[in-house]
Structure 1
Amino acid sequence: MSFGDPNNPYGPPQGQQPGYPQAPQPGYGYPQGAPQGAPQGVPPQQPGYGYPQAPQGVPPQQGYGYPQQPGYPGGPAAPRPASMGRRFGARLIDGVAFAVIYFILGAIGIGGAVGAAQDCDPNAADYSTCINDASSNFAATFGAAIGMLAIVGLLYEWLMTGLVGATLGKLAVGIRVVKVDTGQKPGLGSSFIRWIIPQVGSFACGIGALLVFLSPFWDKSGRQQGWHDKAASTMVVQS
């Protein structure tokens, strides 16, 4: 009996060498033949247990649950930056409050100067001296009042922002100042830096301070930080 005998039903088909398995034919393992592009002679992959794998080059899909929001490390999601309209409104409220205080002090000083001048006798020989003394007293009193008001303004802006995170104007419009990296109150150090930069700019006829307050318009970080905010590592957000 020969393995190459065509009459042998147990031998290999004609044309095959004895001892070797039959080579797979095209479409092996596919019920309707191999699809176009499939490797010849390779059976299709059977799905296994577990979750299906994403095709190569396709980004993984997000799982169930709510998407993660950008925020502070170990804390809540970062709040939205405050709009320039709200910031302007806060400055306006604080400015009006201080303007009222300036007006009251000025009225008191002017009233005192006028009263002192009325006490001077126009017929007296020292009338000019009396008027000059009244003017000097008014200037000294008004200057001291302005200096005291400047100190109050420093303490108001510095302490309120550092310890509370907002002035009365900011609280009224619903915004506050926070540290960029933590979202917490700025503290006295950062608050002072944030306050002093516009004050230095105000010496140039107020133009420098105006540019500082307008600088958030040119910020490209998406946080609307002014130059004073960047120096102090702070930002203004909606409460």
Structure 2
Amino acid sequence: MSFGSPNPYGQPQDPQPNYGYPQQPGYPQAPQGVPPQQGYGYPQQPGYPQAPQGYPGYPQQAGYGMQQPVYANWGQRFLSKLIDVILYLVAYLPLAGIGVAAKVPALALLGFVAGIGVLIWQVIQEGRTGQTVGKKVVGTRTLKEDTGQPLGGGMAFVRQLAHFLDGLPCYLGYLWPAWDAKRQTFSDKVCGSIVVKD
């Protein structure tokens, strides 16, 4: 034993560090100079980059995966619109009719306000979920063509305003989904929307 010895008590010094892990009997020490294996809870080493989904140059449509959407046919679109119009008339006509017959303008005005309220509620629902009451009954949904997500309230409102394009050339735009490849009206083409089977 000498002064300045790193091992003053004469115990054999372990030539291989254990990197802070307790030595288990029967398990060999980690080789010197090799870092320990990382277990759970440690950040993993960067591996190979993930391959991009879909094909380059084409946007991946969220909500569809790799499947092509099934477009709603003309009959489904017509039936859903008919249900929405009936719902509007149920809110508007009784009060307006009673108000006109009884010569009470306040009731007629209340019927008008109720009808407008139904229209606004339908637009908000279509923007949030892609479905009005009619679309929910029929089983269709209005979505953005490029993302497959609902339109949002603002674009759903713009789409309703754009329906005037469908009526301009003798209502041809409303008939267009009967033979169009994506079953779109003119307003759908302008707004970038599609109506799909839910």
Q: What TM-score comes out, normalization by structure 1 length? A: 0.50
Shift of the 84–72 alpha-carbon distance from structure 1 to 2, 3 Å rule, reads farther
Q: Report the Cα offset of residue 187 of structure 1.
A: 1.1
- Determine the C-alpha separation between the residues in 1 that align with 2:178 and 2:76: 13
Q: Which secondary structure state, in structure 2, belongs to the residue aligned with residue 177 of structure 1?
A: strand
Shift of the 217–166 alpha-carbon distance from structure 1 to 2, 3 Å rule, reads same
Amino acid at match of 2:93: F
Q: Which has more radius of gyration? A: 1
- Give the match for residue 196 of structure 1: 161
Q: Any idea what the Cα deviations from partners look like across 1:25-63, whole Å, max 9, x if unmatched? A: xxxxxxxxxxxxxxxxxxxxxxxxxxxxxxxxxxxxxxx
Verify: 1:151 aligned to 2:99, yes or no: no
- Give the match for residue 92 of structure 2: 102
Verify: 1:229 aligned to 2:188, yes or no: yes
- Determine the C-alpha separation between the residues in 1 that align with 2:176 and 2:186: 6
Give the number of the structure with larger relative contact order, counting CA–CA contacts within 8 Å between residues 6 or more apart.
2
Q: Give unmatched runs, 5+ long, in structure 2.
A: 1-53
Q: Report the Cα offset of residue 147 of structure 1.
A: 4.3
Shift of the 159–79 alpha-carbon distance from structure 1 to 2, 3 Å rule, reads same
Q: Which secondary structure state, in structure 2, belongs to the residue aligned with residue 90 of structure 1?
A: helix
Amino acid at match of 1:210: Y
- Give the match for residue 168 of structure 1: 133
Q: Report the Cα offset of residue 186 of structure 1.
A: 1.0
Percent of matched pairs sharing the same residue: 31
CA contact (8 A) 2:91 2:118 kept: no
- Determine the C-alpha separation between the residues in 2 that align with 1:169 and 1:209: 24
- Give the match for residue 46 of structure 2: none
- Determine the C-alpha separation between the residues in 2 that align with 1:159 and 1:82: 21
CA contact (8 A) 1:193 1:231 kept: no
The alignment's C-alpha RMSD in Å is 3.1
CA contact (8 A) 1:213 1:226 kept: yes
- Give the match for residue 216 of structure 1: 177
Q: What TM-score comes out, normalization by structure 2 length? A: 0.60
- Determine the C-alpha separation between the residues in 1 that align with 2:88 and 2:123: 15
Q: Report the Cα offset of residue 96 of structure 1.
A: 1.5
- Determine the C-alpha separation between the residues in 1 that align with 2:95 and 2:169: 27
Which 4+ stretches in 1 moved above 6 angstroms?
A: none
Task: Work out the number of aligned pairs and report it.
Answer: 141
Q: Give unmatched runs, 5+ long, in structure 1.
A: 1-67, 114-136
- Determine the C-alpha separation between the residues in 2 that align with 1:146 and 1:105: 5
- Determine the C-alpha separation between the residues in 2 that align with 1:171 and 1:87: 11
The 5-angstrom pairing of residues 12-51 of structure 1 reads none
Amino acid at match of 2:102: G
- Give the match for residue 9 of structure 2: none
Q: Which secondary structure state, in structure 1, belongs to the residue aligned with residue 195 of structure 2?
A: strand
